[in-house]
Structure 1
């Protein structure tokens, strides 16, 4: 429990998690209050959002001592019943000390790092975000796409995810996901492997990497991207928090793509948030016999999701007019086959020829033309496609 702390101690705690700017006393008090609210109210609590929006986090916090259910002239009886069990238990000082120990940052609305897309959540927006990694990356999510899908992904789903995420990174998009097994993990790994930006939203504290088997992956995301949560460090992920976390993924990104999902997949929850927010929604089709793609087909048939099959089509969800192509004219079938066979990690000519079903001499001739057009380059690991 946080006892009444001296103003100097509160200032020191807040400044430890916002070291990059100078804060006056009012800003310090507001941030401390928002950090406290992030532990008192469950994610997406509309009553907390309404109260904070009306009077600010600090005054809203002070009003919780009311003996009646009326706060500042409005009825909040049920909400007070939800909040009271935590008011005396929440130790905001401990949360801030833990954040400082892990190098986490506290980001609040109005900060340059705040993802403006979250403002579209209205009263369901979080009072603050706890961030490990590059907090500044959150301000650059105006060009981002969320890629989500089944935890029990098939080889097909993972292959599509890796190719699409790499292609989106090549086009300057950040990849947002939830760091789960399956599609989420594949999307993050592909973005990292391509040298791109990626952000993971967690359902628990950013000091409690979940799933634990993804600790190495999440550590890499901290080093090269950002790991974000709306709940303080030390908070455990729960089913409700996973469902609410999905609204952040949908709101922070410009579009959401469901790569692979069963009929009742949790990814459809993210898709529902995206649709409610008016965000573009894409779904990747799969084999009609695959139950792992039934959810995607459902989104396309019943919820007007756009059928997307390539990184280019996914990029068009965000910018329909921005349709860069690899060729100025219609490519020959041979050129298309060679280009399709190139990998971003590099392949040697005999391997490319085997994939294309062409002779080695014919492949070399096409590679020479692709190199002249700036579409392919040779390196130590073989020939690779040049990022568009």
Structure 2
């Protein structure tokens, strides 16, 4: 690594302490000046900084400068290394280039725990997000979807929160597949505390990713900004249960703005936890019910979901002429074959021949000269016996 590259990395690590995730003013400055020059301005003469760093008020600039003054990237990078965490910057081989779609809101850098290559994993990934206070149905669907995606070689990305997020991670892990958690805090910080074991498992088998440096804590705004990274990393976002004001809807809205696929799993129309999903589906969101349908949307050409239909029943397999005669036969039976023929649009001889055929297949009964539909047999599904 050249001295310039090392300096840029050092400066970007420091700037993750200075700017909040998604700060677009910082993104504009970073693009214009580069990380090293930007950090020098923030830690140098105030008048020079005020002249060069336009677009913010004096109070906000002073806030940035106060943070920059106490940033210690050397300590952060050393602490990260001790915890098995690496710091990624744009230009690194492992950096997911699709994050550039966020424009000025793109991450300054990413802190990553776990052995897999983030860029390669992100190329074939799907986000599964939803309500924290989900129902058993929501947890089941999230786990089932994630397990199905993982079994088919897709990386499941979520936010490690309670509810749908946790169910999605567990579903992928249970299938022996790949999953990545994007946190709204330092990747060495466990949040929520109740997911300490889950996050540890994800770090061992997958990836834990965050924009914030070691030890940083989550806030409400950081959760919202975390969602944009989930949307940008993945090829599409699936929402499983979300009320009208659910934070998980911000993930799918961001995915739509970025040109990613937005998908939703429907729920009961009487459930407020599915109301936000249904609103999404009334717009440009795609309805999905299983992993195959998700992959059909986000996968390569030819990765189609299998067609779905109810089971065939014996009556479905009848030839059209036999089916017409069977439909023309009164439920109470008749000995007037000519009337059956007229209703079926056939000759009397044709109708009689079809009746004998239907009798041999078990669809009709004959009592002397009277023909009637066979008594229903339990389990045939259409009220008819036999098969063709």
TM range (shorter): 0.7 to 0.9
Residue by residue, what CA displacement relative to the aligned partner does 1:38-81 show, whole Å, maximum 9, x if unpaired? Answer: 11001111111111111211111112224235454755545523
The CA RMSD over aligned residues, in Å, is 2.2
TM-score scaled by structure 1? 0.76
Q: Distance in 2 between matches of 1:73 and 1:289?
A: 52
From 245, 249, 252, the equivalent of 1:271 is 252
Higher relative CO (Cα under 8 Å, sequence separation at least 6) belongs to 1
| Larger of the two Rg values belongs to structure | 2
Residue by residue, what CA displacement relative to the aligned partner does 1:308-337 show, whole Å, maximum 9, x if unpaired? Answer: 11111111221373334569x989659xxx
Q: Distance in 2 between matches of 1:89 and 1:191?
A: 40
In the alignment, structure 1 residue 304 sits paired with structure 2 residue 279: no
After superposition, the Cα gap between the structure-2 partners of 1:223 and 1:235, relative to the gap in structure 1 and judged at 3 Å, is: same
From 167, 174, 187, the equivalent of 2:168 is 187
In the alignment, structure 1 residue 48 sits paired with structure 2 residue 26: yes
After superposition, the Cα gap between the structure-2 partners of 1:201 and 1:321, relative to the gap in structure 1 and judged at 3 Å, is: same
Mind listing any 5+ residue stretches in structure 1 that lack a counterpart? 1-22, 335-356, 359-388
Contact 1:113–1:135 (Cα < 8 Å) also in 2? no
Match of 1:172 in 2: 153
Residue by residue, what CA displacement relative to the aligned partner does 1:234-274 show, whole Å, maximum 9, x if unpaired? Answer: 10000011110000000000100101111211111111211
Q: How many residues are aligned here?
A: 312
Match of 1:25 in 2: 3
Q: Distance in 1 between matches of 2:78 and 2:233?
A: 27
SS at match of 2:117: helix
TM-score scaled by structure 2? 0.76
Q: Distance in 1 between matches of 2:107 and 2:53?
A: 23
SS at match of 1:105: strand
Residue by residue, what CA displacement relative to the aligned partner does 1:316-366 show, whole Å, maximum 9, x if unpaired? Answer: 221373334569x989659xxxxxxxxxxxxxxxxxxxxxx99xxxxxxxx
SS at match of 1:322: coil
Q: CA deviation at 1:137?
A: 3.3
Q: CA deviation at 1:134?
A: 2.1
After superposition, the Cα gap between the structure-2 partners of 1:211 and 1:138, relative to the gap in structure 1 and judged at 3 Å, is: farther
From 303, 310, 330, the equivalent of 1:323 is 303
From 106, 112, 118, the equivalent of 2:93 is 112
In the alignment, structure 1 residue 85 sits paired with structure 2 residue 63: no
Q: Distance in 1 between matches of 2:262 and 2:309?
A: 29
